Amino acid sequence: MDLYIKYAQAGAPTLYRSAGLEFNAKDTTRLAEQGVKFLYIAASQHALYRKLLADKLDRAFSNPEIAREQRARIVRDACSKMIEDVMLFPGDSEPIEAVADISRNFASWSNKDPEAFSYLLDMSKHDFYTATHMINVGVGCGLLGREIFPGDENMFSLLVQGGLLHDLGKRGVPEAILNKEGKLEPEEWKVIQSHPRLGYEELKANRAVSQTVLEMIRDHHERIDGNGYPFAISGDQISVAARICAIVDVFDAITAARSYRGPTPPDKTLVIMSEGLGTQFDAALFGTWKNLVQKLVHKDPARAAVTDTAKPSIASLSDVTPRSPLIPATSVSGINTSAIWQDDRRQFKRFECELPIKATFLRQLKKCPVGPGVAFVVRLLDVSRGGAQIQTAWPITLNDLLILEIPMKLGGNLTRHGRVVRVRQQADTWRAGILFVDDTKD
């Protein structure tokens, strides 16, 4: 492929290396030293790029010399890029075709090595971002579909594709609404409720997308009792594929870590979801999913391990007063999740601070006024054993990695590594939610 480069932020890409000429590790190093982070490919060559990427994934997944967990990570990272392309280029059929291709690859992998394929499902060790969520739902729909439709490879690939694309309509939902902590306002809730219909409307004109996939996108928030959305259909009006997607969607939404709480273990998630049997979820399908998850966890208990974000107590911080206990009056697809926030509130009591503290970037995904390794001052608004909220004069980026130095009442500083999990503008300043991590590899 021809490789293009941008030498200025607003400038047009210029040809850097023509197709047929070698691009090697030395080129990568030289470009990195020059601060170049991206090379570009012409739209006419995207199909070739994704085909090569799919072939590479197939070889990586089948390579016994690569550890199983690393193979899963390689595949998930590449799938995230595919999902991001789908979200970035509305109306472009080629990224949709790429997702269909990887869905067929998933079906092949599942037949060849079902145990290795199951490790593509991340349980209780991931944060809730649209792309990672859509990958988990795609994999989970495939796993559950294999139990319901054994030997039906075509249905397996359709269920995966539907799961990978189910939240396509969230492209138009503002990030502030998607990441909001607490109860949504009525107008915000209307925006959220529109995403299944928007995703369906976008894809129904694409003749390559099957009815099964379209139903999963449109109906994954419908409920057995008719109290779902966007059309409040009920019972047998909801396809089996959409019912499968509804179960896996909520499971991943609860197990994933959020900016305001840590991850929820799979066993606890299944208990919470059982409240919706016969009303929200198909009881028989949920029973199959529950057995499947329990088998995976029994076979490898490490898969259910929730990262321990508890840190030494910070109750002796200077000038802090406990915040009034508050349970967000929100729910995940109709399931009452108050028990999750109640438990987290006991484990990670939050303290309001209003303290100036020192911060340093370890990893910076977008350029800021302060570069990595240079200390700068932020305002600590609140803090718990699991994370903190800081205020800055300019926006930082999701997944940036920081070191925070928090002054202690008895002297000295408490140093914590933190990853940015939420960014929100408020007036002329920006607020960022920080999740404390154990080390800089997180």
pLDDT tens-digit profile, the chain (442 residues): 899 988 766 678 899 999 889 999 899 889 888 888 788 888 788 778 878 888 888 888 888 888 887 888 888 888 887 887 788 777 788 888 888 988 998 999 999 889 889 988 887 655 556 678 888 999 999 999 999 999 999 999 999 999 999 999 988 787 777 766 667 888 888 998 999 999 999 999 898 899 999 999 999 999 999 999 999 999 999 999 999 999 999 999 888 876 556 678 899 999 999 999 999 999 999 999 999 999 999 998 888 755 443 333 333 333 332 222 222 333 344 444 444 334 443 345 678 888 899 999 988 888 888 888 888 999 999 888 888 999 998 889 888 889 999 887 666 778 889 988 888 887 778 899 998 875 444 3
Domain boundary among 277, 304, 331: 304
Examine residue 395 and say whether the peptide bond preceding it is cis (omega within 30 degrees of 0).
no
For residue 142, the model assigns a pLDDT of: 96
User: Is there a domain that residue 2 lies in?
Assistant: yes
Q: Are residues 37 and 61 in the same domain?
A: no
For residue 332, the model assigns a pLDDT of: 44
User: Is there a domain that residue 309 lies in?
Assistant: no
Q: Are residues 160 and 178 in the same domain?
A: yes
Vertex 94: Cα angle to 93 and 99 (nearest 5): 100
Task: Tell me the C-alpha distance between 432 and 146, whole Å.
Answer: 41
Vertex 433: Cα angle to 427 and 438 (nearest 5): 160
Specify the CATH number for the domain of residue 398: 2.40.10.220
For residue 269, the model assigns a pLDDT of: 92
Q: Are residues 148 and 208 in the same domain?
A: yes
For residue 350, the model assigns a pLDDT of: 73
Q: Are residues 29 and 171 in the same domain?
A: no
Q: Are residues 193 and 156 in the same domain?
A: yes
Single-letter residue type at 248: V
* Residues, the chain: 442
Task: Tell me the C-alpha distance between 429 and 433, whole Å.
Answer: 14
Residue closest to 314 by CA, chosen among 267, 261, 353: 353
Q: Are residues 285 and 350 in the same domain?
A: no
Q: Are residues 71 and 132 in the same domain?
A: yes
Task: Tell me the C-alpha distance between 422 and 212, whole Å.
Answer: 34
Other beta carbons less than 10 A from residue 203's beta carbon: 20
For residue 296, the model assigns a pLDDT of: 93
For residue 322, the model assigns a pLDDT of: 29
User: Is there a domain that residue 314 lies in?
Assistant: no
Q: Are residues 58 and 35 in the same domain?
A: no
Please write down the HEC assignment for all residues of the chain: CCEEECCCCCCCCEEEECCCCCCCHHHHHHHHHCCCCCCECCHHHHHHHHHHHHHHHHHHHCCCCCCHHHHHHHHHHHHHHHHHHHHHCCCCHHHHHHHHHHHHHHHHHHHHCHHHHHCCCCCCCCECCHHHHHHHHHHHHHHHHHHHCCCCHHHHHHHHHHHHHCCHHHHHCCHHHHCCCCCCCHHHHHHHHCHHHHHHHHHCCCCCCCHHHHHHHHHCCCCCCCCCCCCCCCHHHCCHHHHHHHHHHHHHHHHCEECCECCCCHHHHHHHHHHHECCCECHHHHHHHHHHHHHHHHHCHHHHCCCCCCCCCCCCECCCEECCCCCCCCEECCEECHHHHHHHHHHCCCEEEEEEEEEEEEECCCCCCCCCCCEEEEEEEEECCCEEEEEECCCCCCCCEEEEEEEECCCCEEEEEEEEEEEEEECCEEEEEEEEECCCCC
